[in-house]
Amino acid sequence: MSRPLHVVVGTGPLGLAVVDELRSRDGDAVDVRVVNRSGVADVHADVEVAAADVTDHDAARRACAGASVVYNCTNAPYTDWPAAFPPIWEGVLAGAMAADAALVCADNLYCYGAVDGPVTEDLPWDAETRKGTVRAEMARRVLDAHEAGEVRATLARASDFYGPRVRESTVGERVFGNLIDGRRAEVIGDPDQPHTYTYVGDFARALVLLGDDERAWGEVWHVPSAATLTTREFVELVAEEAGVEPRMRVAPGWFVRLAGVVSPTMRELDEMRYEFEEPFVVSSAKFDSTFELEPTSHKDAIAETVAWYRQVGVSPTL
């Protein structure tokens, strides 16, 4: 009897964390295939690797053929989301629909825009930013397809995440890598405002859990995260684990705007500064009341992340 096939589209840090979770949780019960453009991925030998440009729907359908669950862990260049991201999601959706597979989409919180109070799933998708608008459009497309009976789908939303393999994050290389390398952590906004940070391993665990439970279908879920800290407190925990002083450089709003004149990435980051200048506390009460997933403590998650950075080294390009 053949085993269920789980297809993970995208081999960034989240996609690879999902592969790790599938192998540790269901290693003897499911087959795993990862999909990316190159057909090359740093995965265990028992994981199939397929090359596909999923914006080509025929290629996406072939890549997802036979799947029982498809995890959309794709990303697009931060500076080109409006043009590049929707075609990727459309392709993954087409692949899941053709396979009659459940579709679990990894999402973020940009669609809500600036909010007053905890970030909950029932907030309107009122973002006025470019990236928030495109995230809302992609999410609506998936849920509309679910409502139309074209696919069984769910969306899992997490806050800014960190962990092994995570470099391009507000708490990625410029926090972990800098501190480990003896430099100041670089952050934006007000470091004394509370901000929820999600461990990538918990994000992956949530995606796999949702892919295996029909109660998830047709809903948006906020991924459980460890207790919300201020960014300063987070940096202090990283520094403590790394055995260094918690030195930090804060980029004020005027600097981010000025840097955006010459840096496309900083220009895109400027419109998201609101998340770091006011309290940004994410509620996972809906998830917690439905499923069982205890988030990893920041202390343990940071220890794993520091160990990973020390093992692989600090990137010279960031």
Can you tell me the distance from the alpha carbon of 310 to that of 55, in angstroms, rounded to the nearest whole number? 36
Least confident of 69-73, 165-169, 177-181, 262-266: 262-266
Domains, the chain: 5-112+122-160+197-222 (3.40.50.720), 163-196+227-312 (3.90.25.10)
C-alpha closest to that of 59 among 7, 113, 136, 19: 7
What's the pLDDT at 25? 82
Cβ neighbours for 184, distance < 8 A, ≥ 6 positions apart = 178, 247, 248, 249
Q: With 60 as the cut, is the pLDDT of residue 316 above it?
A: no
φ/ψ of residue 161, rounded to 5: -115, 160
Integer Cα distance of 311 and 113 in angstroms: 37
Give the list of residues 6+ apart from residue 61 with CB closer than 8 angstroms, or none: 94, 95, 98, 99
DSSP calls for 46-98: TSEEEE--TTSHHHHHHHHTTEEEEEE-----GGGHHHHHHHHHHHHHHHHHH
Q: For 191-216, write each residue's pLDDT tens digit.
A: 999 999 999 999 999 999 999 999 99
CA dist., res. 260 & res. 270, Å (int): 7
- Going by the DSSP 8-state scheme, the letter that residue 292 receives in this structure is -
**pLDDT-derived band of residue 264, with 50, 70 and 90 as boundaries?**
low
Structural contact between residues 162 and 196, judged by C-beta atoms closer than 8 angstroms: no
Residue 181 CB burial class (10 angstroms; 0-12, 13-18, ≥19): middle
CB 196 within 8 A of CB 267: no
DSSP secondary structure code for residue 245 in this structure: -
pTM over 0.85: yes
Predicted confidence (pLDDT) at residue 96 exceeds the cutoff of 80 = yes
DSSP-assigned states of every residue in 2-13: PPPEEEEE--SH
pLDDT value at position 219? 98
Q: What is the pLDDT at residue 260? A: 56
**Confidence category of residue 253, pLDDT binned at 50, 70, 90:** low
Q: Which residue has the higher pLDDT, 157 or 253?
A: 157
Structure tokens at 147: 């409502």
Q: 207 and 279 in contact (C-beta within 8 Å)?
A: no
Res 175: pLDDT: 97
Instruction: Please report the pLDDT score of residue 317 as a whole number.
Output: 47
| Interval 275-296: pLDDT, tens | 999 999 999 999 999 999 999 9
Cβ count near 222 (within 10 Å)? 26
